[in-house]
Structures are given as C-alpha cells and as structure tokens.
Structure 1
Amino acid sequence: MPMSVLLQAARQMELSPDAIARLRSEMTPQSAVRDLLDAGLTTDALKLLARLLPKRYVVAWLCQCAREQRLDGEGMAGASLAEKWVRDPSENNRRAAFDFATAGGYGSLGAWIAASAGWAGGSLAPAAQATPVPPADHLTARAAVAAINLLAALVSDAFEVRRIAFIGHAMGLLDVERVGA
C-alpha cells in the first residue's frame, strides 16, 4: 500500500504522533492496524481502520456491532436507518439517516450510527438548498469511531476489551483492493 494512503488516513483521523511514527510503506492495512493494536494504541487503530475501509463497509460493520447490543429505541432507530442505507445506498436512504442524526443533535448512539450513513455521500445542506455541500471523505469514519466508542461504553468495565473485539470484527474487511473506496 502506498505510504501516502496510510499517512493521509492517519492525518485525516488525527492519529497520535506515536501511531504515525509506527506506519511504514510496506504495511498492509491489516498489518498497520494490527501493529497499532499490538502497541496498545487502540484508539489510533480504531481510527485508522474506520478510515481505510470503504464507507459502505464501515457502516455495515457498525451495524453488525450494534446488532449484538441491547440498544434503546433511539439506538435501534439510528441503526435501522443506517442498515437500510447499507442495503440500498440511495440518496433517499442516506438523507433519512442524515436527517435523523441532525434532528438528534448527534447526542446519542443512534444519532452517531445514523450519521455514519448520512455522511457517506450526498450533501450536508438542507434538502431544499440547490448548492450541494458534500461531506469530507473522512466523516463516515469519524461517526463510526464515535459510535464504536459509545457501543463499547455500554459495558463500562469492559470498554477497552469491547473496542478491541469490535475492531476484530472488521479486520477481515481490510484488503488492498478495497481500501478507501
């Protein structure tokens, strides 16, 4: 993998200087994330993983993680909207997820799950606005990191273990042909 792809992802996701220093041009996405995990840099590993995966894969992974949890009504609603977008990535489904996240003020787990899909494309401008405002490429990853952290915090005494397990669910999704799409 070109080092520039890893470094761009690392910078966009604001990885720590220690994490950035560990990245090498010969690393695959899997080996880069694994190295960060092995070094105890779980937050950096999570951020890099979320940015290197294609957006649809990020949202699908997040939905998979959410399905394994006991969510409240808002959490289930946000996850349902995100999953609907994964199955049918139409603008209507993306907009519904975006509107849900915005209406919730990004103040809940459900809002962050929905934001991961809502920020995957389209426009962040109001639907009636003619001039589109496309989201930055890394916003889906940012929303996913927030949601994974909130999911892990559902069992506070197992936060770190749960984050590592969630990362493990997505490691197989990383490969050179799909990275960053």
Structure 2
Amino acid sequence: MGSATDTTPPTSIAPAPGFRVQLGQQLFGTMPEMADDIGARPGEGEHMFDFGRRLRLGDTPEEAISLMAFALHPRQAIWWGHECLKAAPELLTDQDREMLELCATWVAEPSEANRYTALDAGLHVAVRGPGAWLALAVGWASGSMAPQGLPPALVPMFAIGRALNAGVLTALARVPQDKRRRMLDHYVAMAEVLAKTA
C-alpha cells in the first residue's frame, strides 16, 4: 500500500451518510443540471470528498461550495447553509435573521406547514438576500414548489441545491476579500463534517 505525498492526497473510502450518493459521477447522473453551476467534472470512481477537494484547490474554488449544496441530503444541506450564514453574523441583515429562524424551525421539525412558511417568506421578500435563498431552499426541499392554494408543481431534485448555492455564495460575497478564502474553506469543512456524521 502506497503512502500519500504532498501532491497526491489519500483517496476517500469511508462512507458519508449525509451525502445523497458517494461518487461524484453518480451525483451528476441524478442531477445533470449541476453542470450549469460546476464546470469541472468528477473522475471515474471519484468520491465526493476527493472531487470537492479538487474543486477547492482548483481555479474556481467556489465550485466546492456548489458541490456541497447539491450533494448533501436536504435536511443536512439546510442546516449547513444556516451555519454558513451564522459564521459571519455581523454581515447578516434583519431579513436574513428572520429567514434563518424559519430554516432552523424546519430543520428541527420538517413538516409541510414549516416548509410552506419558509417558502412563502422566501417568495415574498422585496430583496432576495442569502437568508431568503435559504428559505426558498427549505421550500424546495420536497413536495410542491407552488405556493399554498395553487395546483401542485413537483420540485425538481436540483432546485434545493441551486437555491442553497445561491444563498451561501451570496453570503460569501459579503465577506471582506482578505478573509474570503478562509471562510470558503470553513464552509466546505462544515459540509464535510455534516456529511460524515449524518
């Protein structure tokens, strides 16, 4: 068995129950729409952790955040987004804080009533900041993406990832430039911990 070097990190083999699937190609196979948000492609048999590491160290490290937004199961994904925004509380608006409360309520009790409350709040804001995107992600975690009282419209599987990605990247854009890379790494590390412990 060979040892890892500085240029060749060890290959991930441990299961990550918080991910929808374990391999990058499987994820792209179930949600090809991810290609609109992630330009790189996973290699044959490349574990999600290894693909994420490659993205984080690549030319567009923000794609590692996009990967985590799509890869995590909905409940873990929403909590991850919640914690990403809370990592810089001084950058949150009152609206963001209100939306985060709705997200936390749904994570604690993922009922249809709580999902619709978050969806309606996210749909009716005047300005769509990171908190509002997270509220939409809750609303698009399952069921119908149409507001209550309208005919149901099934949520596409990729919708929660796209909304979550928008929320976390919008929050990251508020971080001062000299601290942004450290925060990006922190976001990805939190997602990996959730994926391992779910």
Distance of 1:147 and 1:174 partners within structure 2: 19
Unaligned runs of 5+ in 1: none
Q: 1:2: Cα distance to partner?
A: 5.2
Query: CA, structure 1 residues 4+66, in 2 after alignment: closer, same or farther (shift >3 Å)?
Result: closer
1:118 aligns with 139
Do 1:94 and 1:122's aligned partners in 2 also have CA atoms closer than 8 Å?
no
Is 1:164 the counterpart of 2:185? The answer is yes
Please give the TM-score of this superposition, normalised by the length of structure 1.
Answer: 0.84
Residue matched to 2:84: 65
Q: How much has 1:46 moved relative to structure 2? A: 1.5
Report the Cα distance in structure 2 between the residues aligned to 1:164 and 1:9, rounded to whole angstroms.
Answer: 26
**CA deviation after TM superposition for structure 1 residue 4, in Å:** 4.2
- 1:11-38 deviation line (CA, Å, top 9, x unaligned): 3222444x11xx1222111111111112
Helix, strand or coil at the partner of 2:45: coil
Would you say the 8 A contact 1:63–1:79 is kept in 2?
A: yes
- Unmatched tracts of structure 2, length 5 or more: 1-21
Partner of 2:100: 79
Aligned position for 1:97: 118
The CA distance in 1 between the partners of 2:49 and 2:191, in whole Å, is 10
- TM-score w.r.t. the length of structure 2 is 0.78
Residue 53 (structure 2) aligned to one of 5, 9, 34: 34
Q: Which residue of 2 aligns with 1:150?
A: 170
Q: 1:138 to 1:16 in 2, by over 3 A?
A: closer
Distance, in Å, in 2 between the alignment partners of 1:73 and 1:150 is 16
Counterpart pick for 2:152 among 119, 128, 132 = 132
* Contact in 1 for aligned 2:115/2:139 (Cα 8 Å): yes
2:144 touches 2:152 (CA, 8 Å); kept in 1? yes
How far apart, CA to CA, are the structure 1 residues paired with 2:191 and 2:84?
10
Bigger radius of gyration among the two = 2
Q: Which residue of 2 aligns with 1:44?
A: 63
Structure with bigger helix share is: 1
Aligned amino acid, residue 60 of structure 2: L
CA RMSD of aligned residues (A): 2.2
Distance in 2 (CA, whole Å) between partners of 1:8 and 1:105 is 35
